[in-house]
Amino acid sequence: MTVRVRRVYQSPEPQDGVRVLVDRLWPRGLSKEAAAVDEWPKALTPSTELRRWYHAGEGSYEEFARRYEAELAVPEVAELLDGVRESAAKGPITLLTAAKAPEQSHAAVLARLLQD
């Protein structure tokens, strides 16, 4: 199973496979054509409260990841995660985010969970 994490502002590549936007808000200044997004499961994104808490610098990335995993365990959200996992089992999948540091974002948590 190949799961990649990339910034949505990077040009699409053939090896991206299914491109999944994992941000709640559409990225600023980016057209839908340029983004080439195949799926946008908004419910998989961190809650507004968790996102604001993390961006305010109130906690560590490890604590953010733990809280986000708890949000992903809610049955309705877990079902969406399973759907993305099924897509990833069929071929490459790229999780797209506008985060400036994708390796320290919710997209990295999702990638890890999808590969487990």
Q: What is the pLDDT of residues 23-79, one digit of tens each?
A: 999 999 999 999 999 999 999 999 999 999 998 887 899 999 999 999 999 999 999
Identify the residue whose tokens are 């919710």.
106
What ranges do the domains of the chain cover? 3-115
Crossing angle (nearest 10°) for helices 48-55 and 61-72: 170
Amino acid in the structure at residue 68: Y
- 4: β partners: 94
CA 16 to chain centre: 14
pTM reported for the whole predicted model: 0.91
Identify the residue whose tokens are 């995660």.
81
